[in-house]
């Protein structure tokens, strides 16, 4: 798998999550599961695929990743 394939997979996953969680006309998202998934997909898309923030993933430290994994 090439890095471009990895990025395409990540892009597709973010799109799929956002589409699933926003497909209904209106419903309250469960804060612990649905909102967290939607938030993670949006932040991932903004951080990785936004040209203005293109170097941000390269500047992340392992501690930043672990903090995000814990939901802090």
Q: Which domain holds residue 54?
A: 3-69
Rounded to an integer, what distance in angstroms lies between the CA atom of residue 43 and that of residue 67?
A: 14
Q: Provide the angle, in degrees to the nearest 10, between the axes of the packed helices 36-49 and 3-22.
A: 140
pLDDT tens readout for residues 3-59: 778 888 888 999 999 998 888 777 787 777 888 888 889 888 887 777 665 566 666
pLDDT (0 to 100) of residue 59 = 67
Rounded to an integer, what distance in angstroms lies between the CA atom of residue 40 and that of residue 35?
A: 8
pLDDT (0 to 100) of residue 16 = 92
pLDDT (0 to 100) of residue 57 = 60
Structurally, the chain folds into a number of domains equal to 1
Rounded to an integer, what distance in angstroms lies between the CA atom of residue 18 and that of residue 9?
A: 14
Cα separation values, 18 from 9, 13, 14, 31, Å: 14, 9, 6, 15
């Amino acid at each position: 798998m090439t890095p471009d394939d990895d990025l395409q997979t990540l892009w597709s996953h973010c799109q799929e999550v956002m589409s699933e969680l926003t497909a209904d006309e209106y419903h309250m998202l469960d804060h612990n599961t649905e909102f967290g998934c939607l938030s993670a997909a949006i932040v991932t898309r903004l951080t990785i695929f936004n040209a203005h923030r293109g170097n941000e993933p390269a500047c992340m430290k392992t501690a930043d990743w672990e903090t995000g994994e814990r939901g802090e």
